Amino acid sequence: MVALLTFLTLCCFALNSILSRIALSNGGVDPLQFALIRAVSAAIFLIVLILIRERKFSFSKTHILNALTLSLYLICFTVAYVNLTTGVGALILFGCVQLTMLGRSLQTGEKFGLQKIVGTLLAISGIAYLVWPGVETPNLFYALLMAAAGFGWGSYSILGKKSNAPTLETANHFVKASLICLVAILLRQHFFEITSQGLMLAILSGAIASGVGYSMWYHVLPKLRTITASLLQLLVPLIAATGGAILLQEPVSARLAISALLTLAGVALTLVAR
């Protein structure tokens, strides 16, 4: 059951990537507006889901740090995403997620054998090989924003290992994140006219890919080692690329196939390591 939920969660992350890329690349929505709509949609969807299932919902004043790290990811990711190439963004984001979660693993005394080290390097090399053709020297400011997004998501994942009520907690996180995103928009004092397509993509990204996906992520995180949770996320670009090939009929290149083999081999090597 944990394996299935983990796979579905990674699929939601990949869907989020696809929806965000489409919405932000065609100029139909402003990055901060996208982050706000995404957070609000996720909060509303999860609250309704909880009310249907349990007939009550309670707002919590706790988990402020979770909301802050989630907001850091949402805002920095969306702003940086439209100013970096997909390859550069993926390398910076997932590299910083790995560093953040691996650092936490070392801090808590999680053991790293030779097999785990080799598996980690192999998985990272697979992602690097996939995106390397598009790598170019990025704008420093937006590169730092994407690094901050990676730190935010890595920290949010680490905090999720203590989750006791995943759906309720995630709903509360998105409620607080919505307020933070709103403040960011008001401070900028610039309002962008959103298209119907941009609005719909942001809602889908929030309600389904984020609301459902993040709730499942908080459900499985307590059952995964930190190193395992960090490495599994390296599968997201591969799932997104595969989804693009299936749904958008994008060609499957030899580079994608080799990258998938390297990343899958690395993750598998780490998962079976003692």
Task: Tell me the pLDDT tens digit for each residue of 202-259.
Answer: 999 999 999 999 999 999 999 888 878 888 888 887 787 777 667 656 566 677 778 7
Q: Please give the tally of structural domains in the chain.
A: 1
At 5-27, the pLDDT tens digits run: 999 998 998 888 888 878 887 76
Tokens of 196: 């119907």
Domain range for 86 is 2-271
Contacts for 109 with CB less than 8 Å, ≥ 6 apart: none
pTM of the model: 0.86
Q: How far apart are the first and last CA of the chain?
A: 22
CB contact set of 106 (below 8 Å; sequence gap of 6+): 112
pLDDT of 187 reads 86
Residue 255 falls in which region: left (phi positive, over 0), alpha (psi -120 to 50) or beta? alpha
60-82: pLDDT as tens digits: 877 899 999 999 999 999 988 77
Confidence of residue 134 (pLDDT cuts 50, 70, 90): low
3-state secondary structure 30-67: CHHHHHHHHHHHHHHHHHHHHHHHHCCCCCCCCCHHHH
